Amino acid sequence: MSTAGTSAAGVSSERVGIIGIGQSQFTARRDDASYPDLVREAVVLAMNDADLLFDDIQAVVYSLSPDAMVGIGNAERLGVDAVGARNKRFLRINTGGATGISSVAAAYYHVASGACEVVLTAGADKVGECGDSQTVLNKIWDPTYERQLPLGTINMLAMSAVRYMNFYGLTEEDMARVTVKNRWHASLNPNAHLRRVVTIDDVFASRYIAWPMKLLDCCPQSSGGGAMVLASERFIRERNLDAVWITGLAHCSETYWLGDRMGNNPTADHADAFALGRSFQRAYKMAGITDPGSQVHVAELYAPFSNTEYHAIDAAGFCKPGESIALLREGQFELGGRLPVNPSGGTLCTNAIAVTGMIRVAEVALQVWGRAGAHQVKGARVGIASGNGGDHQFFGTMVIEA
Amino acid sequence: MPYNVQPGVIGCAIRPAIADRDRSLEEVIYDTTQQGLADAGIAIDDIDGIIVGCNDQLDGRAISVMMASGAVGGVDRDILSTPSGSEHAFILGALRVASGQFRTQLVVAWSPTEAGSIPEAERLATDPYFHRRLPLDELSANALQAAVLEHAVQGLRDVAATVLEKNRRHGALAYPDPPSRPAPGVARWPLAAGTTTRPVTGCVALVLATADFIAERGIVDVAWIRGMGWATEPSFLGDRDLGTAPALRAAAQQAYAEAGITDPIAQLDVVEITDATPYAELLAYEALGLCARQDWAARVGDGTFTREGRLPVNLSGGVQTFNPVFCTGLIRVAEIADQVRGHAGAHQHKNVRNGLAQAGSGFAMQYQAAIVLGREQGALA
Amino acid sequence: MELMSRQETWNITYTHALGETASWFYGQIRDNAKLYGRRCAQSGRVLVPPRSFSDQTLQPTTEWVEVGPGGRIETFTIVYEQFQNLPDPPYAFGYVLLDGADTALGGYFKGVDLTDPAKAAEKLKIGTRIVTRFAEQRTGDVLDFWYEVA
């Protein structure tokens, strides 16, 4: 795999490294901390991890998805002090659920452009304070045609499950298997929100939310923060720092209109994750990965509902569409298996929306660093992360290498 | 210049969409994008990345980039979105081109007037812990800043009135039928009647490209990015000295250092400033090193910053002429790009070689950016 | 120590311009109980609901095409959970490819007993033929019509 990126424009640029990571222990509520307090918590952890001073930070990328989720408009303005950005370069990213990985990407471009040597990206969410996230998330649909329908992200992705069932034979039991696997993984991760191990029977005993999804097929509403420090290869070398490297990254999006992802020969089918696949292809190309199934050792794939992990595995190129069902049943994607997916427990067990995509990147970084603790994938050197945003519309992907 | 690749602006579209209701917001964004691509003389297939700037509370849509993604050509493309400021979309697009990993970037921002009350939408940006119960919208914050400045500088109200008159005079040339009208009534003391303008709908698009792409396509009208700076003030107004603009000073230092500017008055030919109020414009003069506060009255009085003066500021008429709230920052950049490219139309200035765009947004200009564009590649020095 | 909280509500009304294309579509629903799509000349595809431009070709659409009232189910869900500001459960809704259309239109499914999730899901499975029904009193909205199994 590549050691130095060669760009589309033929310019050889130095690598961008990850040198610090901070994340909260995610929970349902954090009444002890205000919103900026939560951001600060993660920032302090990341700064200590990187062993840097705030004076070293040249720019900050703020990670926050819909403002309404924290109930503060442009809440990044309130977070300026929490991230130490006074009189510094500062901007915010919002690509919905993909925001966290998009923010890491934006921080990456700050360094890759040559503009900055060291960049902090950080954010937090208090989804538990917004009353009902689905009320907010209904407002992501356009007021012209689709918002009048009772759409929410749960209902939207239940409709994806129905199509995946239709094309590939997915069953409710297959969905439950993802929950069982990820809850077990989360039980090993002290930062995960839902850490109780469950069985397939437990999933079936939980109530239907939106057929075929049951309560235990769904992610929680989590509170907590995330932060990462990125730096140029030159800075890392000069300071003799320990780092892992972002060797591939991309974003890709598909149509906003759910109804355009079905019908006659859609470019992107709502069963699948077309643009996630396209995004991975671009990131792999940049990283020089030609056979992800054998070259990737660990994956953190954004999947807030059990069914969506299947099309994410397909899109990552680990197998042909639909084959993920049988491979997961064989245990290939669990800790100790051939290619562990979501060893942290993933989005299904922890979803503080503003930073969920960042935590995917952070967890992969910890894995290839060999610092993941009880949920470490042995010998992982190359990992991938993804984030999905909008109505399953924006997809960010990254390749991280030791 | 620290950039791996120097980006250039090759296309701009500034669209005041006043005739509202025949086009939805999504359609206005589509129209503006198409116009920006046409101005660059390229097709959407030439675009390999997109950055949009949009604000959920003004748009009335959560994650409002979703609605616009198709309109800006986002399907099957690499698109990111920033809601902090429209100028931030430009900066991120420029950084992506500068990384050498993209040949082109499309940057689009918009600001509709579909909210029942824009001040009410702005008020949601106050924190619920200490400030939400106060009547604090952007106009109030601007008024608080004006009050501090009036206290600090004697006779400032007359100077502010002259700045306002200058921008409205410039605006009459740029826009025979100015999109924004003066807001009636006493706004907020000390901002007198008519010193601010009513928000209108607007949309703006820019196209950025690498030198390789520009050479390959034989594009001649280019505004090269020679320096960029951006910075933020702290969150709470009470933590700031509203009579100064340290974040803009920091942003200007970054931009000038990159561009090799040591004497902005001599080295710049045109400037655009986010004049949400004339007080904001005066404060920017100082922070940008154009004119210290003790000289405000003299320089404004002798017409230094008028169309006929040594360094024209806001030939477009500024925010006082066209006020699509959220995208006023990106419009400043587009106006300077158009001046440098010789595409500014009725308000084109002669022999523009270098220009500076200042973008400010948020409560009393919490976010600040300074961007230097020029006709020639490289830095000035 | 006592941890305190404050309750805040966002309450802003937006008046969204629908533009000419959606306005005409809703006018036809209200006045004539008919559904239309727009054809993209470049791809030939009929977009329902109608868009003034295609997000795939980025070309303006050029022609109105009447679609439905028959069609087939493309996807559905049956909601059993109460969400704030959304209807009381249970309800079924999803997307239908109307005859003559190339993309699917969202709407409610009515006339199916939703008591038993598995049985109800079988009645609404992908590919099932439906017919569009219109309300007597129509306001010009997607809630003026719904789908019933044919």
pLDDT in tens, A314-339: 999 999 999 999 999 999 999 999 99
Range of weakest confidence among A151-160, B290-299, C4-13: C4-13
Rounded CA separation B58/B1 (Å): 36
pLDDT value of residue B186 = 67
Rounded CA separation C75/B240 (Å): 54
- Is the link from the previous residue into A212 a cis peptide, with omega within 30 of 0? yes
- Is it the case that residue A384 has pLDDT exceeding 90? yes
Interface check for B30 against chain C (CB to CB < 8 A): the answer is yes
pLDDT value of residue B379 = 82
Token duo for residue B272: 């655009």
Secondary structure (H, E, C), B98-125: HCCCCCEEEEEEEECCCECCHHHHHHCC
Query: Which residue's entry shows tokens 């050509």?
Result: B73
Of the candidates A145, A160, A213, which has its C-beta nearest C22's C-beta?
Answer: A145
Rounded CA separation A396/B162 (Å): 50
Token duo for residue B4: 């791996």
Strand partners, B373: B225, B355
- Is it the case that residue B19 has pLDDT exceeding 70? no
Of the candidates A80, A86, A250, which has its C-beta nearest B78's C-beta?
Answer: A250
Residues C12, B21: C-beta atoms closer than 8 Å:
no
Rounded CA separation B304/B286 (Å): 14
Residue A272, amino acid: D
- Between the CA of residue C90 and those of A33, A137, A208, C51, what are the distances in Å? 37, 19, 10, 31
Provide the shortest C-alpha distance from residue B236 to chain C (in Å). 19
Q: Which residue did the predictor score with more confidence, A9 or C102?
A: C102
Residues A112, B233: C-beta atoms closer than 8 Å:
no
Rounded CA separation B381/B223 (Å): 17
Q: Which residues contact C31 (CB under 8 A, 6 or more apart)?
A: none
Q: Band of the pLDDT at B381, cuts 50, 70, 90?
A: low
pLDDT value of residue C9 = 87
Strand partners, C131: C70, C148
Of the candidates A109, A144, A251, which has its C-beta nearest B79's C-beta?
Answer: A251
- Is it the case that residue B333 has pLDDT exceeding 90? yes
Query: Which residue's entry shows tokens 């009393």?
Result: B364
Strand partners, A341: A299
Residues C53, B24: C-beta atoms closer than 8 Å:
no
Query: What residues of chain A, 95 to 124, have a C-beta less than 8 Å from chain C?
Result: none
Chain C neighbors of B57, CB-CB under 8 A: 12
- Is it the case that residue B143 has pLDDT exceeding 80? yes
Provide the shortest C-alpha distance from residue B27 to chain C (in Å). 7
Of the candidates B82, B100, B212, which has its C-beta nearest A13's C-beta?
Answer: B100
- Provide the CB-side half-sphere exposure for A97 (13 A, CA): 28
Token duo for residue B268: 């710049």
Provide the shortest C-alpha distance from residue B189 to chain A (in Å). 25
Q: Report the relative pairing of strands A16-23 and A223-232 from DSSP bridges.
A: antiparallel
Taking CA atoms, what residue in C is nearest to B28?
C19
The answer to whether B8 touches B222, Cβ cutoff 8 Å, is yes
Rounded CA separation C16/C22 (Å): 12
Q: Report the relative pairing of strands B50-53 and B104-111 from DSSP bridges.
A: parallel
- What percent of chain B shows pLDDT beyond 90? 91
Give alpha helix (H) positions in A169-296. Answer: 172-187, 200-205, 233-238, 274-287, 292-295
Interface check for C107 against chain A (CB to CB < 8 A): the answer is yes
- What percent of chain B shows pLDDT beyond 70? 98
pTM: predicted TM-score of the whole model, two decimal places: 0.97
Three-class DSSP category at B230: strand
pLDDT value of residue C10 = 87
Q: Report the relative pairing of strands B367-374 and B223-232 from DSSP bridges.
A: antiparallel
Strand partners, B205: B13, B108
Q: Please, what is the end-to-end C-alpha distance for chain A in angstroms?
A: 11
Rounded average pLDDT over B176-192: 84
- Is it the case that residue A10 has pLDDT exceeding 80? no
The answer to whether A97 touches A353, Cβ cutoff 8 Å, is yes
Q: How many Cβ atoms are within 10 Å of B65's Cβ, its own excluded? A: 31
Strand partners, C65: C37
Evaluate the CA torsion angle A28, A215, A263, C52 in order and state its sign: negative
Q: Which residues contact C9 (CB under 8 A, 6 or more apart)?
A: none
DSSP state of B75: B
pLDDT value of residue A129 = 83
Give the residue from B238, B206, B237, B235 showing the smallest Cα distance to B223: B206
pLDDT value of residue B1 = 81
The answer to whether B372 touches B255, Cβ cutoff 8 Å, is yes
- Is it the case that residue A6 has pLDDT exceeding 70? no
Rounded average pLDDT over C37-53: 97
Which one of B101, B208, B361 would you mutate to disrupt binding with A, by most A Cβ within 10 Å of its Cβ?
B101
- Express each pLDDT in B42-67 by its tens digit: 999 999 999 999 999 999 999 999 99
DSSP state of B196: S
Measured at the alpha carbon of residue A381, what is the angle toward residues A380 and A383, in degrees to the nearest 5? 80
Residues A137, B62: C-beta atoms closer than 8 Å:
yes
Chains that contact A by 3+ CB pairs under 8 Å? B, C
Rounded CA separation A325/A309 (Å): 10
Provide the shortest C-alpha distance from residue B20 to chain C (in Å). 7
Q: Report the relative pairing of strands A89-93 and A213-214 from DSSP bridges.
A: unpaired
The answer to whether C108 touches C145, Cβ cutoff 8 Å, is no
Q: Please, what is the end-to-end C-alpha distance for chain C in angstroms?
A: 63
- Between the CA of residue C15 and those of A35, A219, A395, B21, B25, what are the distances in Å? 31, 33, 31, 10, 11
- Between the CA of residue A238 and those of A35, A113, A242, what are the distances in Å? 36, 19, 11
Which one of A133, A157, A217, A257 would you mutate to disrupt binding with C, by most C Cβ within 10 Å of its Cβ?
A257
Residues C17, B114: C-beta atoms closer than 8 Å:
yes
Of the candidates A13, A67, A76, which has its C-beta nearest B99's C-beta?
Answer: A13
Give alpha helix (H) positions in chain B. Answer: 25-40, 56-59, 65-69, 86-98, 118-123, 138-152, 156-174, 211-217, 246-259, 264-267, 278-287, 296-301, 328-341
Residues A393, B69: C-beta atoms closer than 8 Å:
yes
- Is it the case that residue A4 has pLDDT exceeding 60? no
Left if phi > 0, otherwise alpha if psi is -120 to 50, otherwise beta: which for A392? left
Query: What residues of chain C, 18 to 47, have a C-beta less than 8 Å from chain B?
Result: 18-22
Q: How many Cβ atoms are within 10 Å of B52's Cβ, its own excluded? A: 30
Rounded CA separation A158/C79 (Å): 9
Rounded average pLDDT over B237-244: 96
b (16+ CB within 10 A) / e for A336-351: ebebbbbbbbbbbbbb
pLDDT value of residue A2 = 40
Q: Band of the pLDDT at B137, cuts 50, 70, 90?
A: very high
Token duo for residue A138: 């209904």
Q: Band of the pLDDT at B187, cuts 50, 70, 90?
A: confident
Left if phi > 0, otherwise alpha if psi is -120 to 50, otherwise beta: which for B14? beta
Rounded average pLDDT over B245-270: 98
The answer to whether B47 touches B106, Cβ cutoff 8 Å, is yes
Rounded CA separation A16/A241 (Å): 13
Rounded average pLDDT over C119-126: 98
Q: Which residues contact A372 (CB under 8 A, 6 or more apart)?
A: A343, A344, A363, A366
The answer to whether A114 touches B2, Cβ cutoff 8 Å, is yes
Residues B76, A81: C-beta atoms closer than 8 Å:
no
Interface check for A12 against chain C (CB to CB < 8 A): the answer is no
Rounded average pLDDT over A15-39: 96
Residue A237, amino acid: R
Of the candidates B30, B116, B132, which has its C-beta nearest C53's C-beta?
Answer: B30
- Is it the case that residue A131 has pLDDT exceeding 80? no
- Between the CA of residue C67 and those of A164, A258, C45, C102, what are the distances in Å? 27, 18, 12, 10
pLDDT value of residue A134 = 83
pLDDT value of residue A1 = 42
Rounded CA separation B21/C16 (Å): 9
b (16+ CB within 10 A) / e for A154-165: bbbbbbbbbbbb
Left if phi > 0, otherwise alpha if psi is -120 to 50, otherwise beta: which for A346? left
The answer to whether A281 touches A252, Cβ cutoff 8 Å, is no
Three-class DSSP category at B128: coil
Angle between helices A99-112 and A353-369 (to 10 degrees): 60
Range of weakest confidence among A36-50, B107-121, C3-17: C3-17
The answer to whether C55 touches C79, Cβ cutoff 8 Å, is no
Q: Which residues contact B342 (CB under 8 A, 6 or more apart)?
A: B221, B348, B352
Strand partners, B11: B207
Rounded average pLDDT over B165-186: 90
Angle between helices B278-287 and B246-259 (to 10 degrees): 50
Q: What is the CA radius of gyration of chain A?
A: 19
Residue A254, amino acid: E
Give the residue from A4, A13, A120 showing the smallest Cα distance to A58: A120
Chain B neighbors of A282, CB-CB under 8 A: 78
Q: What are phi and psi of B122, to 5 degrees?
A: -65, -35
ipTM (interface pTM): 0.97
Interface check for B211 against chain C (CB to CB < 8 A): the answer is no
Three-class DSSP category at B302: coil
pLDDT value of residue A7 = 45
Chain C neighbors of B65, CB-CB under 8 A: none
Chains that contact C by 3+ CB pairs under 8 Å? A, B
DSSP state of A61: E
